[in-house]
Amino acid sequence: MKEFFGDASMLEQTYWYAALIGSGIFLVIFILTFVGGGDADMEADMDAADGGDDGGVGFQFFTFKNVIAFFTIFGWTGVVCLDNGYSRMITIVVSCISGLLMMVATGYLFFWMSRLTESGTLKIKKAIDFSYNRILKFHSKQKVQNISYKDNLNNKLYYKYVPIDSVGIYVPGGNASFPSTVLMNAIPAKIAGVKRIVMVNPKFKGQQSPGVLYAAKKVGIKEIYSVGGAQAIAALAYGTKKIKKVNKIVGPGNIFVSSAKKEVFGEVGIDMIAGPSEIVVVADKFSKAEWVAADLLGQAEHDVNSQCILISKEKHFIKKVKILLSDQLKSLPRKLIAKKSLALNGILIYVQSDKQIVDIVNMIAPEHLELNIKNYQNILKKIKNAGSICLGKYSAMAVTDYNAGSNHILPTNSSAKFSSGLSIYDFYKRISYINLSKKGIETLGPSAITLANFEGLEGHAKSIKLRIRRK
C-alpha cells in the first residue's frame, strides 16, 4: 500500500483518499439512516414536532450526506479516468460533474426514502395533535366550584376540591395501539392538577408503539412502564421495586384488567368496571342504511363480546341494514372478530312507537347511543340512561372515539344508569370543612345528643356535652 501511494502522483493520491474515506463514511451514514436508526429517527421526529408542524423535511442540496457523496464519486471517477489515461483537466472536469450529479441523486434518494418512512409518522403525529387540542378544549370547560356557607349561628361550612396526588392510567396495547386512550385518560387528569401520572401499556408487536409514546409525551407523562394485564393493575395498586403505588387507577382493558381493578378497589380508587363496548343505533326511513351498517360494524370489530343493536320502526330498513352488514363485513380486516360479535350480540329490534324506543334504550343504558333519526328532539328529553349520545346522521360514534372532544371512556353493562364517562371530576376528591361557633354548638348540641343516645353512642353524646356544659 505504501509503495502504491508512494508511486502515485499527488492528484492520484487525492482521488484515492477521497474515494476510500468518502465510501467508508457514506456506508456508515446509509446504514445508520435506513437500517439501524429506525427508532432513533422516530424519536428525533417526535422531538422536532414540539416546535410545531414543519410540514416535513424538503429536498436539501448542501448537506453532510450529499457532500460525502460528492467526494466519494469525485474520487472514484478520478481514479478511473486517470487509469484510462485521461488528462488532468478532463479528469477534474468529469470528476466534478460526476460528483455534482451524485449530490443531486443522493439528495433525492434520501428525500424520497425519508418521505416514505416519515409520512406515516407525520400523519399520525398531526392526528394526535389535532385530537389533543379538541379534547383539551372540551375538558377545560369542565369546572369545579368550591362551596362555602355561613348560617345565622355564625357556623361556617364549606368544601373544596383537591386533586388526587397520583393516578395510574391503563392503556391497552397487546393486540392494537391506542394513542387516543392515552389522551382520554391523561388530559382530564392534567387539567385537574394531578401531579404524578403513571402510564402502563403492554408492548404492541414486541415494542412500545411510537404513536402511544408520542401521545404520552404530548400530555407530559414521564413515568411509563411496559407492563399490561392484571399484573399491571396489581403493580399500580400495591407497588413494586420499580413502580411506586398510585392513589387511583383509570382506563379500559380486557376482562382480566377489569377483574383486577374490581379486586384492588378499596386499596386504590378506580374509575369504573369497563366491560365490552356497546352501541345502540336508533334509525328511521330518513337514515342512510349504509352508514348505519358501518356504525354497527365499527363497534363489532372491537371485540367478540361487543354489543351492537339497531332499533327502528321501519321493517324494510332493518332488512336492508342486515344485507349491508353481510356485504360490508367481507372487506373488513377484522371481519372474523366482527362476525362473531354480530352472531353473539348483534340484535335488530323492530318497534312500533317512540315510547318503545325510549323504554328499550333506558333499559339497556348503552355505552354509545346514536339517534340517527330526523326528529331526535321528540325522544331526547325522555332518554335518561346512556354513556354518550350522538345526535343526527352525521354524528358517527367513531368520531367520538378520537377527536370530537368528549371522552370515550364510558360506562358499560348498563352502568350508565348510575355512572358517567371519565371527566376531570374523576381526578378530584372533595374535603368538607366545619367551623362551629360557641352559639352554634350550644344550639345544635342538644338535638345531636338526643340522636346519639337513641343510636346508643354515648361517647358521641359525651363529646358534645363537654362542649356545651356551662360553668
The catalytic residues are 367-368
What is the signed CA dihedral for 242, 245, 249, 254, rounded to 10 degrees? 40
C-alpha cell at 433: 370543612
Encoded amino acid at 384, one letter: K
Q: What are phi and psi of 50, to 5 degrees?
A: -65, -25
Residues 158, 212 contacting (CB under 8 angstroms):
no
Selection from 131, 134, 132, 61 nearest residue 101 by Cα: 61
Residues 120, 209 contacting (CB under 8 angstroms):
no
Selection from 194, 188, 202, 334 nearest residue 257 by Cα: 202
- Report how far residue 370's alpha carbon sits from residue 395's, in angstroms, rounded to the nearest whole number: 8
Distances (CA, A) of 311 to 163, 346, 347: 41, 11, 8
Selection from 362, 359, 365, 368 nearest residue 419 by Cα: 365
Residues 416, 136 contacting (CB under 8 angstroms):
no
